[in-house]
Amino acid sequence: MKRIPAFVSSALLLTPVLLGAQSTSSPVAGSKVRFWIAAGGSVHTAQLERLTPDSLILQSCATCTTLRYARADVNHIEVFRALPSGMRTLSGYGYGSLIGLVAGVIAASTCHKLGDGCDGAIILVPAGALLGGLIGGIAGYLGSYAWDPVAPPPPASGDSNNVTRSPQ
């Protein structure tokens, strides 16, 4: 049986994870956005209605003075996106189970009674692993959201003042 070198197998396993983390799409209507105002440097979080090359139009914003901003007035825009959560949830469950298992073993080993006095302590080992795994899995799932920067608008192609008009 041929063995695949470790670096090749790890590259093959990590490729889908790394490709899934790349986000090239622009935010859609209803997305949660965070942006910085150039004048004053204040940060706002709002629901997006539309993002055009020259404006940021919001559906709702509790801390904003207006729902329309020129892109020139906004320093930076980020969108709140869900990342692939499968591996994060699974690794959180694994780490949580391991920590819970160790905690259960430590708790069970502290019982120094003789006979039936420590029969319930053996339950602490699997219970610790299950509870730790549950907590770790939830933490891994909740950690699968991130703020991704939105690409700046493309530079204007040509001068907009050189618009040809039809003779009147």
Q: Is the pTM of this model over 0.75?
A: no
**Coil, strand, or helix at residue 22?**
coil
Per-residue pLDDT in tens (0 to 9) along the chain, 168 residues:
444 444 333 433 443 444 444 444 578 888 899 999 888 778 899 999 988 888 888 988 888 888 898 888 888 889 998 878 788 899 999 999 999 999 988 888 887 776 666 777 778 889 999 999 999 999 988 888 888 898 877 665 554 443 333 344
Cα separation, 94 vs 133, whole angstroms: 6
Cα separation, 27 vs 31, whole angstroms: 6
